[in-house]
Amino acid sequence: MILYGTLGCHLCEEAEAILIEALGLTTVQNQVQKVDIAEDEQLSETYGIRIPVLRDIDTGTELHWPFDVSTIRSLYT
């Protein structure tokens, strides 16, 4: 699972907290790959106004903000 966002994005921080709750984790560090879109021009163009975005690596399914605990659970658990 990939969480696209950027530093200083309060919605990205909120999305991370929701993800932790939805998956019953203490941290996303080992379960979710966090990608800062500011470090990649193509990602910035693709996700710039839509972050945070959660992407399933296996299926390519993306959740665009806003999403909640129940949405994450229905797709990823």
Give tens-digit pLDDT for 18-66: 999 998 887 777 788 999 999 999 999 999 999 999 999 999 999 999 9
What is the residue-wise DSSP string for the chain? -EEEE-TT-HHHHHHHHHHHHHHT-S-STTT-EEEEGGG-HHHHHHHTTT-SEEE-TTT--EEESS--HHHHHHHH-
pLDDT in tens, 1-17: 999 999 999 999 999 99
pLDDT band at 76 (very low <50, low <70, confident <90, very high): confident
What is the pTM (predicted TM-score) of this model? 0.89
Q: In terms of CATH, what superfamily is 2-76? A: Glutaredoxin (3.40.30.10)
Measured between alpha carbons, how far is 50 from 12 in angstroms, rounded to an integer? Answer: 10
Contacts of 51 (CB under 8 A, 6+ apart): 4, 5, 6, 9, 11, 12, 37, 65
- Name the residue ranges covered by the structural domains of the chain: 2-76
